[in-house]
Amino acid sequence: MKKTCFPLFAVFMLLPACGGSESETQALTPERKTATSDMMQVGAGRDWPLAGGDVGGTYFSRLEDITPENVSSLGLAWDYPLYTNRGQEATPVEIDGVLVTSSTAGRAVALDAATGEEIWRFDPEIDMQANRVACCDMVNRGVAVDDGRVFVATLDGVLYALDFKSGEILWQADTHDGSGRGLSSTGAPEVAGDVVLIGNSGAEYDVRGFVTAYDVETGAARWRFYTVPHDPEAGPQENPELEEAVTTWDPESRWDVGGGGTVWDAIHYDPEFDAVYIGVGNGGPYHRAKRSPSGGDNLYLSSIVALDPETGRVKWHYQETPGDSWDFTATGPMTLTTLEIDGEETPVLLHAPKNGFLYVIDRRNGKLLRANALVFQNWTSGINAETGRPVMTPENADYSTGPKIIYPGTPGASNWHPFSYNPQTGLYYGAVLEMGNLMMMTPGQKPYKEKGINSDASLIFTPDLPAVLPGLPSFVQEAVKALPEWSRVEEGLDKSELRAIDPLTGETVWAAPYAGWQDRSGVLTTASGLVFAGDVRGFFNVYDAESGDLLKSIDTGASIIAAPMTYEVDGVQYVAVMAGWGGGGWPYVPRYGAAYERRNDGRILVFKLGGGETPKPDKLPPLEPAPAAPEDLFADASPETIAHGRALFFDNCAICHSNQHRSISPDLRRMQPYTHEIFNDILLEGLLVQNGMPSWGDLLMEEDADAIHAYLIGEQRRIRAVELELQKEGLPLDQPSAALLSNY
């Protein structure tokens, strides 16, 4: 890719690099032999062959060399630059001294696990127009390695099989279903026997969710399971389970929008019961009243579905949030283990989805065994133990009748950040967020927008609500302040914590605070009694698994949201984690985050006992007042034109362009003269598509682009005047601000 730098927009740039039998085991390749022998135990051993370490996805390691007694000497062994300023959410895989992982948009790399020396790098051609339908950054959650193959999916929906040793492409498959809808891929593939599965993202857009199985050797599609039925007037559903599901939808549902239900994470193979468990996402539009007006559970939204890996047929399903209206996806990572329940050793699936509960589900049949609240929530008063269904409280959470403050908020009590189950302590460790949001929607039905955001909801998170509310219409202010949850908002009870949780009761044994509601990360635990977790401030932290005492904290200068992993090479234990701010809400960099102070350089960080200091990215330059906008450009724009531009901006652009200080997306209030000159070329012609800025020429006319430009120039003039005055008074330019997230 030719490197071309443009003022302001260059921030988008992806910088170029300037149990089987002995006879069965012997028949396997070295890679599969190692993985097979290691994975069948609880917890990873010398290698880390799966994203979650073992078959159960416990993120637990049996390694014990790094202990509470010696962890104080933990330091950097090596680091590897990823040449991007976008979010890093993957957990690497390591087999036989080779570490493999994925980065932004699905690029992949293999490194010497002891030295960090590059073995190969996979940098495929990616249609960066896919950013148009990627709500939550260009993240990628990892690779799968099996029988000498590395599987990775790119942002534009292509699944690749690579040679483990060379990185050469063995095959590739387009995972789109031919509908032309706005899907993208951000999740990790999962191997289940002789098939590899991948889902996709896009429930906020116009996608009908599905997961597809491909032959691991050839890439041929074996089967596809849709999570949402199609319009019954279009003919029979693809399988009998969808014929059952369609009865839980209004026949007059918004089939044109697609329905949502994307499987953007949480695909987990269980070899013990030969089942693939998929976590299904939210519905679209968000509110069931818009999506399925007469009601219904809307299967298989917000469900865990067990599929037969050979046929794709449903074995069982459990719907965690029937009729979801709150973006309560069931796509959080699952953990498979065995717990003693009522005197019986029971194979269970542990799951902490967005909706605020921790579920314990019988893997044999999908029966709910336990469901305990982790946080305050008001969409339900609890789960009926007999039926497994939540007891809904529409008086609290039905925002079709007016604005409502709903707990938990759409970021979820838990999200994609992996939990770790430690069989020695019996505790479940993970990031838990106590927060809500105000939810509102438009009256009537909005027209379908092809490859556009169709969620039809506006959100204000409760930490921001006191500051934002005075700017809303008086009737909205009155309605919100009359809600019983308003007192909770005023008390400021929101918090994010790393918790050690009893999985059968949901009780917190200990908790360590994160810095703010945007601060969450994945977790690793080890047999030596340690808990590893990074944070958005840029610290890599090690806790005592029993007490929660902080034993070691390394300032890396880079925000960490991914889950760490650990492995051993030549008798040395290493701990690795990927660093880089991004993901959902990626353009809103928290003021306490490392990416607010320093360059958001994506890196792989690897630590060992006796390691050295961790170098930090360079600090960002001091803030300066916004540059002057061209005086004669849209100087006579009418209020109607500016209002039209503002509406278009918030409907299409604001999900990426937060226009906040230190955002990792361009602040369009600070455009340089040259950017103003090529504004329409960028917006309509796709001048910077390869840099990550998609073209909008198929949706917007030139007069629309001019209206957006006029609105932004007005904002640039306004913010420049404000900042010049702040500078004159000697005050910081980055005064705290809040945001209304339309169609978040």
Pairwise CA distance, residues 207 & 210, whole Å: 9
> Coil, strand or helix: which one is 337?
strand
The helix (run of H) or strand (run of E) holding residue 77 is strand 74-81
Residue 677 CB neighbours (<10 A): 12
Whether 327 is catalytic is yes
Catalytic residue from among 79, 327, 519, 667: 327
Token pair of 428 as six digits: 């479940």
Residue with tokens 């840029």: 538
**C-alpha closest to that of 653 among 733, 596, 707:** 707
Residue with tokens 């906020």: 204
Residue 479 CB neighbours (<10 A): 17
Residues 139/582, Cβ–Cβ less than 8 Å: yes
* Cis previous bond, 285, omega within 30: yes
Token pair of 46 as six digits: 């010398």
Sheet holding 404-406: strands in order across? 404-406, 437-440, 458-461, 741-742
Burial label, 600 (beta-carbon count in 10 A; 0-12, 13-18, 19+): buried
Sheet holding 495-501: strands in order across? 420-422, 427-434, 495-501, 508-513
DSSP assignments along 516-579, one per residue: STT-----EEETTTEEEEE-TTSEEEEEETTT--EEEEEE-SS---SPPEEEEETTEEEEEEEE
Contacts for 479 with CB less than 8 Å, ≥ 6 apart:
402, 403
Contacts for 722 with CB less than 8 Å, ≥ 6 apart:
none
Burial label, 665 (beta-carbon count in 10 A; 0-12, 13-18, 19+): buried
> Coil, strand or helix: which one is 53?
coil
> Coil, strand or helix: which one is 606?
strand
- The conformation of residue 423, written as its DSSP 8-state character, comes to T
Query: What is the distance, to the nearest Å, from the Cα of residue 453 to the centroid of all Cα atoms in its chain?
Result: 17
> Coil, strand or helix: which one is 641?
helix
Pairwise CA distance, residues 49 & 720, whole Å: 53
Bridge partners of 208? 260
**C-alpha closest to that of 705 among 713, 398, 715, 175:** 713
- The CB-side HSE value for 680 (13 A sphere, CA atoms) comes to 9
Contacts for 723 with CB less than 8 Å, ≥ 6 apart:
625, 626, 733
Sheet holding 210-215: strands in order across? 190-192, 195-198, 210-215, 221-226
Bridge partners of 508? 501
At residue 47, what is the residue type? D
Token pair of 217 as six digits: 């050797």
Rounded to the nearest 5°, which phi and psi values hold at 458? -115, 135
**C-alpha closest to that of 391 among 321, 305, 332, 290:** 321
Residues 322/285, Cβ–Cβ less than 8 Å: no
* Cis previous bond, 7, omega within 30: no
> Coil, strand or helix: which one is 683?
helix
Please identify every residue annotated as catalytic: 327
